[in-house]
Amino acid sequence: MEFLRQLIQKTAEPLIHLKVIEILKWHIHLSYSSEVRQKALEVIKLIPDTYEFRLIGVLTACDILDWFINNKGKKDIFSQDDWQEKEKRIQNILSAVVKEFLPRHPDANEGVHILNDKLTFFQESGLEINCNLSDFMGTHRLAFLETLAKNAEPNYVIEMCKAIIAKPNSNLALQISLLLWRIRQFDIHSAIKVTQLAIDTESPALCASIAERCGTWLNNLQSEDIELIKKLLAHKVIEVRGRTIHSLCIMKNVKPRFVSTMALAVDVDNSMKLASEVCGIFNPKWGIPLDNLPDIELETLLQKLEPILNISDYNISEFVAYVSQRSPRLVVQFLLNRIEYYQKNCISNYNPIPFSDFNSKLSGIEKNSEYKEILREIRNQALKVFQKYKFWCNNHNHYISKLFKEISLEFNPISIKVLEEWIDSEDCEKFKRLVIF
Tens of pLDDT, residues 147-189: 999 999 999 999 999 999 999 999 899 899 999 999 999 999 9
> Per-residue pLDDT tens for 223-242?
999 999 999 999 999 999 99
Q: Let me know if residue 123 belongs to a domain.
A: no
Q: How confident is the model at residue 160, as a pLDDT?
A: 98
pLDDT at 314 over 50: yes
Whether the predicted pLDDT of 135 surpasses 50: no
Q: Which of 145, 126, 171, 140 has its CA nearest to residue 58?
A: 140
Instruction: Let me know if residue 411 belongs to a domain.
Output: no
Whether 53 is in a domain gets the answer yes
Mean pLDDT of all residues belonging to the chain: 85
Range of 168-172, 368-372, 378-382, 431-435 with top mean pLDDT: 168-172
Residue 431's pLDDT band, with cuts at 50, 70 and 90, is low
- Whether the pLDDT of residue 124 is over 70: the answer is yes
* Residue numbers of the domain that contains 15: 1-75+83-104
pTM of the entire structure?
A: 0.83
pLDDT-based confidence at residue 137 (cuts at 50, 70, 90): very low
Q: Is the pLDDT of residue 131 over 50?
A: no
Q: Does the structure show a pLDDT above 80 at 110?
A: yes
- pLDDT for the residue 206: 96
Looking at the DSSP assignment, which residues form a beta bridge with residue 351? Answer: 310
Structural domain includes residue 301: no
* Residue 275 forms part of a structural domain: no
Residue 166 lies in a domain: no
Least confident window among 137-141, 287-291, 327-331, 390-394 = 137-141
- Worst-scoring range by mean pLDDT, 119-133, 201-215, 290-304? 119-133
Q: What CA–CA distance (Å, rounded) separates 74 from 94?
A: 22
Confidence of residue 419 (pLDDT cuts 50, 70, 90): confident
Let me know if residue 95 belongs to a domain. yes
- As to burial, measured by CB atoms within 10 angstroms (0-12 exposed, 13-18 middle, 19+ buried), residue 139 is exposed
Evaluate if residue 357 carries a pLDDT over 60: no
The predicted pLDDT at position 139 comes to: 32
242-281 pLDDT, tens digit per residue, is 999 999 988 988 899 999 999 999 999 889 999 999 999 9
What pLDDT is attached to residue 2? 84
- As a whole number, mean pLDDT of residues 129-154 equals 64
Q: Residue 355: its pLDDT value, please? A: 60
Domain count for the chain: 1
Residue 113 dihedral angles phi and psi, to the nearest 5°: -60, -45
Report d(CA 422, CA 414) in Å as an integer: 14
Q: Nearest Cα to 301, choosing from 273, 276, 329?
A: 276
Q: What is the pLDDT of residues 74-108, one digit of tens each?
A: 666 656 556 778 888 889 999 999 999 999 999 99
What is the predicted pLDDT for the residue at 136? 32
DSSP states along 174-212:
GGHHHHHHHHHHH-HHHHHHHHHHHHHTT-HHHHHHHHH
* Residues 6 or more apart in contact with residue 14 via CB below 8 angstroms: 50, 52, 53, 55, 56, 57
Contact 3, 50 (CB under 8 A): no
Task: Please name the residues in contact with 76: beta carbons below 8 A apart, sequence gap of 6 or more.
Answer: 29
At residue 26, the pLDDT reads 83
